[in-house]
Amino acid sequence: MASHIVGYPRMGPKRELKFALESFWDKKSSAEDLKKVAADLRASIWKQMADAGIKHIPSNTFSYYDQVLDTTAMLGAVPPRYGWSGGEIGFDVYFSMARGNASVPAMEMTKWFDTNYHYIVPELGPEVKFSYASHKAVEEFKEAKALGVDTVPVLVGPVSYLLLSKPAKGVEKSFSLLSLIDKILPVYKEVVAELKAAGATWIQFDEPTLVLDLDAHQLEAFTHAYSALESSLAGLNVVIETYFADIPVAAYKTLTSLKGVAGYGFDLVRGTQTLDLIKGGFPLGKYLFAGVVDGRNIWANDLAASLSTLKALEGIVGKDKIVVSTSCSLLHTAVDLVNETKLDKEIKSWLAFAAQKIVEVNALAKALSGHKDEEFFSANAVAQASRKSSPRVTNEAVQKAAAALKSSEHRRATNVSARLDAQQKKLNLPSLPTTTIGSFPQTLELRRVRREYKAKKVSEEEYVKAIKEEINKVVKLQEELDIDVLVHGEPERNDMVEYFGEQLSGFAFTVNGWVQSYGSRCVKPPIIYGDVSRPKPMTVFWSSIAQSFTKRPMKGMLTGPVTILNWSFVRNDQPRFETCYQIALAIKDEVEDLEKAGITVIQIDEAALREGLPLRKSDQAFYLNWAVHSFRITNCGVHDTTQIHTHMCYSHFNDIIHSIIDMDADVITIENSRSDEKLLSVFRDGVKYGAGIGPGVYDIHSPRIPSTEEIADRINKMLAVLESNILWVNPDCGLKTRKYSEVKPALSNMVAAAKLLRTQLASAK
């Protein structure tokens, strides 16, 4: 029985690619050094899958930044501002598109469906001249073949590529991106021809947009594209992969009717209703790539249940036509459980990272073909039973408190307008107040101190002294820059979710459970295995110290319940909203303790609220209801004079703006600059927003330093659609990933721009 992996993590078990990328960007190593690290990682991944017995091993899922950007390079769809004049696209142009450079900004970055992975959004229009400009897919296939591994090259499908794009600046927003399909297909044909010539027998097109709510015109684009590709694909086995949700009925009919396609991949973990579609009819003689092993979570597969599902499907599609697969790319899970030497033994037995999921896929494929590893299945059954019965999972008091939440909407007693008046009397802020989002640069020295404290190489007294000094430095810098509402810079935190999870019950942590978020940025999601509660205050000590260093308002910095949920590996034995309510109660306790300690501005980040939005519209209202409710729970008990901020970043917000308003925060700071100020269009369309709002005035994910004039221009655009008395001036996101040499001039220019506009507003009165 055949086995298949949709895709695999790129960073390496110890983040080898991350460090190689950053060394290259800092000009400490050469392009050849970076390529060598990448080649070694690819070779080890292919060998690992081959040794595990996987038949359909993917290639071209490795990327130096993002697979959609790789496709943009393949198609030669480089925006003119990067000065590309043709030929094979190299690192200079590639990384300029991803990160910007000294003279031009980066392309927009946004969330990949409902994950915490980000992709670089293609900028397209009728004038784009597509050409075959990156041979990466073919080169990696040949590279694997030279190592003795026959792979399945993976390409982002042509229709999904266009649907995930946006009209370039200057192109009408109504421009039909799908009208470009016949312009990009010739490049796809060239790639396919080269892959065939190199000996490929299978090819995988990822078309994940098929799980979205597509109209008839969009579905017709798939029929058209694959009909046009049919003759080029002759002689190849083609599998089209979908993932992340159920596939709608109309999309299922379209997909299973496509010409020249040998098999279809479905996410049967998040797409359980797809099973009913398959049972209702599956094309005769086609392959079913059954995604029964979860590519987005770290829980060990229930092998007995999966085998039962596979046997039922085998009866429908035929014994030789079922391929056991992951539900999606393993990019979204941690790399290898073997590297976790400090995890609790019982909890570890409940888990499977990417390396273990490969073994699970192969074990299921063998069992389906009559070669069941009884010992492996038996150990799995014991672990499943242990998790269900373990007393560490359940806290009855927490469950009772969370269940009681449903009886109230948890709204603050006073409307936001009255609250803002009360807060202004207390805070006395200028018009267009300036602030930052939370974190400041994490220096090597700071990381060393945290690392040594965790390893018990420095005492608690030494650690506290070092963190206090860092906070004082950050406070003094902000005062020198004349920022109005300060932050403490979060020097005690490596990660905004991990920091809180370490202090909440029901969480477990890894040492090397890193997952790529974008580029070289990796996160280490906590594991929520049980009921959540807060044993003691988490941030009050540091926030109080920071406030003691200044007379200006100091923000207490918290991560909101929805973001903690969406940026964790969440238990799958109860509904997600129940876990979220438990986290909300824990954060509520912290908010109220911060207020008692004299902190008058408290930011509760919900950076990932939009990220968790279900992909299908029919599921979205329910999610938004409990997600927004969870946020309100955290701060419903504070006084009117306590100002509640929240922050969101790098997603499309316009379609949920009314839910954002319903959160009832006093101030929201939100990403805006990298997405061509799309956020402002919702206010141009007449949406009234009465709370404070700070659309980001510059992109912190690029090393580029914006000028005062550029920032002032952005603020003026905001003032065209927002009242000056509610507008805040701030960067797009936290400054952790930047250097002080970038942060100081950028913030200085930001404050100067705000002061310039204040003067202009005052003189206009």
pLDDT digits (tens, 9 = 90+) for 574-612: 999 999 999 999 999 999 999 999 999 999 999 889 889
Domain boundary among 352, 371, 389: 389
Give the pair of three-digit tokens for residue 602.
Answer: 């408290």
Q: Which residues contact 408 (CB under 8 A, 6 or more apart)?
A: none
In the annotated binding site for Zn(2+), the residues are: 647, 649, 658, 662, 671, 733
pTM for this structure?
A: 0.92
- The whole-angstrom separation of Cα 502 and Cα 508 is 8
CA dihedral angle for residue 23, residue 26, residue 32, residue 34, rounded to 10 degrees: 40
Residues 27, 153 within the same domain = yes
Query: For residue 377, which phi and psi values (nearest 5 degrees)?
Result: -65, -35
Based on C-alpha coordinates, what's the Rg of the chain? Answer: 26
Query: For residue 742, which phi and psi values (nearest 5 degrees)?
Result: -95, -40
Q: In the beta sheet, which residues pair with residue 485?
A: 435
Give the pair of three-digit tokens for residue 191.
Answer: 């790639």
Residues 293, 435 within the same domain = no
Residues 361, 484 within the same domain = no
In the annotated binding site for L-methionine, the residues are: 437-439, 490, 605
Burial 227-261 (b: 16+ CB within 10 A, else e): ebbeebbeebbbbbbbbbbbbbeebbebbbebeeb
Neighbour count for residue 481 (Cβ, 10 Å)? 17
pLDDT of residue 737: 85
Place of tokens 């202004």: 424
Q: Is there a contact between 506 and 533 (Cβ–Cβ < 8 Å)?
A: yes
Residue 106 lies in a domain: yes
Query: Domain tally for the chain?
Result: 2
Burial of 379 (0-12, 13-18, 19+ CB in 10 A): middle
pLDDT of residue 505: 97
Residue 178 lies in a domain: yes
pLDDT of residue 406: 81
pLDDT of residue 675: 60
Sign of CA dihedral 360, 361, 363, 364: positive
Residues 132, 272 within the same domain = yes
Report the SS3 class of residue 287. Answer: strand
Q: Give the pLDDT confidence of 358-375 residue by residue, as tens digits.
A: 999 999 999 999 999 999
Question: Average pLDDT in the 216-235 region?
Answer: 97
Q: How far is CA 736 from CA 446, 489, 523, in A?
A: 12, 8, 13
pLDDT of residue 493: 87
> What residue type is assigned to position 683 of the chain?
F
- The whole-angstrom separation of Cα 658 and Cα 687 is 9
Residues 353, 428 within the same domain = no
Residue 408 lies in a domain: no
Across the chain, mean pLDDT equals 94
Question: Average pLDDT in the 509-525 region?
Answer: 93
Give the pair of three-digit tokens for residue 276.
Answer: 């009913």
Q: Is there a contact between 79 and 168 (Cβ–Cβ < 8 Å)?
A: yes
Residues 369, 448 within the same domain = no
Residue 20 lies in a domain: yes
488 is catalytic: no
Neighbour count for residue 193 (Cβ, 10 Å)? 12
Determine which one of 4, 410, 629, 701 is catalytic.
701
Question: Average pLDDT in the 436-463 region?
Answer: 91
Q: In the beta sheet, which residues pair with residue 155?
A: 205
- For residue 578, give the CATH number of its domain: 3.20.20.210
pLDDT of residue 700: 87
- The whole-angstrom separation of Cα 733 and Cα 670 is 8
- H helix count then E strand count, the chain: 27, 22
Question: Per-residue confidence at 683, pLDDT binned at 50, 70, 90?
Answer: low
Question: Average pLDDT in the 47-65 region?
Answer: 97
On the question of pLDDT at 615 being above 70, the answer is: yes
Three-class secondary structure assignment of 585-614: HHHHHHHHHHHHCCCCEEEEECCCCCCCCC
Residues 461, 378 within the same domain = no
On the question of pLDDT at 650 being above 60, the answer is: no
Residues 331, 426 within the same domain = no
Our CA angle for 113, 114, 116, nearest 5°, is 100
pLDDT of residue 407: 79
Taking alpha carbons only, the member of 134, 184, 195, 186 closest to residue 159 is: 184
Residue 405 lies in a domain: no
Q: In the beta sheet, which residues pair with residue 692?
A: 667
Percent of the chain at pLDDT > 70 equals 98
On the question of pLDDT at 677 being above 70, the answer is: no
Instruction: Please give the DSSP secondary-structure letter assigned to residue 285.
Output: T
Residues 694, 556 within the same domain = yes
pLDDT of residue 679: 65
Residues 367, 427 within the same domain = no
Question: Average pLDDT in the 197-216 region?
Answer: 98
Taking alpha carbons only, the member of 124, 152, 133 closest to residue 70 is: 133
Q: Which residue range is the domain that position 555 belongs to?
A: 415-764
Burial of 515 (0-12, 13-18, 19+ CB in 10 A): buried
> What is the number of alpha carbons within 13 Å of residue 601 lying toward its C-beta?
28
Q: Is there a contact between 586 and 534 (Cβ–Cβ < 8 Å)?
A: yes
Residue 354 lies in a domain: yes
Q: Which residue has the higher pLDDT, 704 or 153?
A: 153
pLDDT of residue 163: 98
Q: Which residues contact 65 (CB under 8 A, 6 or more apart)?
A: 94, 95, 98, 120, 518, 519
Residues 35, 137 within the same domain = yes
- The whole-angstrom separation of Cα 141 and Cα 199 is 9
pLDDT of residue 102: 86
Q: Give the pLDDT confidence of 652-673 residue by residue, as tens digits.
A: 667 888 899 999 999 999 887 7
Question: Per-residue confidence at 674, pLDDT binned at 50, 70, 90?
Answer: low
Residue 520 lies in a domain: yes
Question: Average pLDDT in the 172-178 region?
Answer: 95
- The whole-angstrom separation of Cα 483 and Cα 670 is 18
Residues 444, 549 within the same domain = yes
Place of tokens 């392009």: 31
Task: Report the phi/psi class of residue 59: left, alpha or beta, with left for phi > 0 and alpha for psi in -120 to 50.
Answer: beta
Q: Which residue has the higher pLDDT, 639 or 495?
A: 639
Q: Is there a contact between 83 and 133 (Cβ–Cβ < 8 Å)?
A: no
Place of tokens 């917000």: 653
Taking alpha carbons only, the member of 668, 681, 559 closest to residue 608 is: 559
Give the pair of three-digit tokens for residue 711.
Answer: 């920032």
Residue 396 lies in a domain: no
In the annotated binding site, the residues are: 18, 116, 437-439, 490, 521-522, 567, 605, 647, 649, 658, 662, 671, 733
Instruction: Please give the DSSP secondary-structure letter assigned to residue 50.
Output: H
Q: Give the pLDDT confidence of 374-431 residue by residue, as tens digits.
A: 999 999 999 999 999 999 999 999 999 999 998 788 999 999 999 999 999 999 999 9
Q: Give the pLDDT confidence of 1-21 residue by residue, as tens digits.
A: 799 999 999 999 999 999 999
Instruction: Please tell me which of 65-69, 489-493, 645-649 the model is most confident about, judged by mean pLDDT.
Output: 65-69
Question: Average pLDDT in the 44-57 region?
Answer: 97
pLDDT of residue 377: 98
Burial of 421 (0-12, 13-18, 19+ CB in 10 A): exposed
